[in-house]
């Protein structure tokens, strides 16, 4: 079986390395020839949300009609972006993950804490059997994985955690353990998580855990050595996903009548820190 991994970041490299134990894997970075993915059974999308359409557009008309597109991305708009890039009618799998990876100064990738990946099909899509097969591939590769239908509560579950940990660590320039060990950071992260959870509830989403702030702190503790993707972006002077994560909380909150003042503030702060 051939698997194409689109994106050369730390997370993409982590999954490519693991899956190479059980499948033929092509890691495709920006600018690589898309024809290398023509026979792929699964195409993993690991680029940042703001790069999705540009990264996938060259694959339109190249991929096999039976290829399943698997998004390991943050946020809630992956399906819309994938269909904009590749057209409709494709099998899409969403795979929110708590796996953490950090690229070291020498270019190597370090797995920063053991996480898990939940695989499922978005509402209105097809391919539940493909979700089962892909989850089994992840498990054979040594990665914890489960299948969940519907998948949307798990997308929100990750969004709530990311909305708390990522901006707080990015602004502090500290790894995830900072959220647990530094009381002011803990307090702010709790406020961000609870606002995001309130928006999820207003959207009719039941999160797969009873206490959003407790879950967020658990993830921060388990991935304590990880430097969040948002932190890595700020440190390297790259665009961040603040708009796709906290910005989405704010936008949906306004639409649903939920106030999100802490998320609004942190969006502005991270934009300034990133020079946006």
Domains parsed from the chain with CATH numbers: 2-147 (3.40.50.720), 152-273 (1.10.1040.10)
Distance CA 265, CA 10 (A): 28
Q: At what angle do helices 152-172 and 183-202 cross, to 10 degrees?
A: 150
| Stretch (H or E) spanning 269 | helix 261-273
**Stated pTM of the model:** 0.91
Q: Which residues are catalytic?
A: 158
Asked whether the beta carbons of 96 and 155 are under 8 A apart, the reply is yes
Burial of 123 (0-12, 13-18, 19+ CB in 10 A): exposed
Q: What tokens appear for 4 in the block? A: 């194409």
pLDDT category at 127 given cuts 50, 70, 90 is low
Label the pairing between strands 24-28 and 42-45: unpaired
Greatest mean pLDDT among 60-64, 88-92, 105-109, 151-155 = 151-155
Asked whether the beta carbons of 226 and 116 are under 8 A apart, the reply is no
Lookup result for tokens 């009381």: 183
> What pLDDT is stored for residue 38 in this prediction?
85
pLDDT category at 276 given cuts 50, 70, 90 is low
Q: Is cis: bond before 150, omega within 30 of 0?
A: yes
Distance CA 20, CA 24 (A): 6
Q: What angle do CA 69, 232, 199 make, to 5 degrees?
A: 65
Average pLDDT, the chain: 92
> What pLDDT is stored for residue 8 in this prediction?
79
How much of the chain, in percent, has pLDDT values that exceed 90? 78
Lookup result for tokens 């306004």: 254
Distance CA 7, CA 56 (A): 10
Write down the H helix ranges in 62-116. 78-86
Distance CA 192, CA 165 (A): 9
- The backbone region for 44, taken as left when phi is positive above 0, alpha when psi lies in -120 to 50, beta otherwise, is beta
- The backbone region for 114, taken as left when phi is positive above 0, alpha when psi lies in -120 to 50, beta otherwise, is beta
pLDDT category at 123 given cuts 50, 70, 90 is confident
Q: Spell 208-227 as b/e; 16+ CB within 10 A means b.
A: eeeebbebbbebbebbbebb
Q: What tokens appear for 82 in the block? A: 């994938």
pLDDT tens per residue, range 161-189: 999 999 999 999 999 999 999 999 999 99
> Among 30, 69, 72, 67, which Cα is nearest to 49's?
72
DSSP 9: S
> Among 46, 6, 1, 38, which Cα is nearest to 20's?
1
Q: Is the pLDDT of residue 61 over 70?
A: yes
């Amino acid at each position: 079986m051939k698997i194409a991994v689109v994106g050369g970041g730390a997370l993409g490299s982590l999954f490519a390395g693991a899956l190479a134990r059980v499948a033929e894997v092509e890691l495709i970075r920006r600018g690589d020839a898309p024809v290398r993915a023509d026979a792929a059974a699964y195409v993993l999308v690991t680029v940042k949300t703001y790069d999705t359409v540009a990264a996938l557009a060259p694959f339109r008309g190249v991929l096999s009609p039976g290829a399943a597109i698997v998004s390991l991305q943050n946020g809630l708009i992956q399906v819309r972006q994938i269909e904009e890039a590749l057209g409709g009618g494709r099998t899409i799998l969403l795979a929110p993950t708590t796996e953490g990876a950090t690229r070291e100064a020498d270019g190597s990738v370090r797995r920063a804490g053991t996480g898990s990946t939940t695989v499922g099909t978005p509402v209105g899509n097809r391919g539940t059997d493909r979700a089962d097969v892909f989850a089994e591939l992840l498990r054979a590769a040594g990665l914890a994985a489960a299948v969940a239908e519907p998948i949307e509560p798990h997308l929100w579950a990750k969004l709530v955690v990311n909305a708390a940990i990522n901006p707080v660590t990015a602004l502090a320039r500290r790894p995830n353990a900072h959220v647990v060990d530094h009381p002011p950071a803990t307090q702010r992260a709790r406020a961000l998580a609870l606002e995001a959870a309130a928006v999820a509830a207003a959207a009719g989403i039941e999160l797969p855990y009873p206490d959003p702030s407790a879950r967020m702190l658990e993830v921060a503790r388990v991935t304590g050595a990880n430097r969040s993707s948002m932190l890595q972006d700020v440190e390297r002077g790259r665009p961040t996903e603040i708009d796709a994560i906290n910005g989405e909380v704010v936008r949906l909150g306004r639409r649903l009548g939920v106030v999100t003042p802490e998320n609004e503030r942190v969006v502005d702060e991270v934009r300034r820190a990133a020079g946006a």
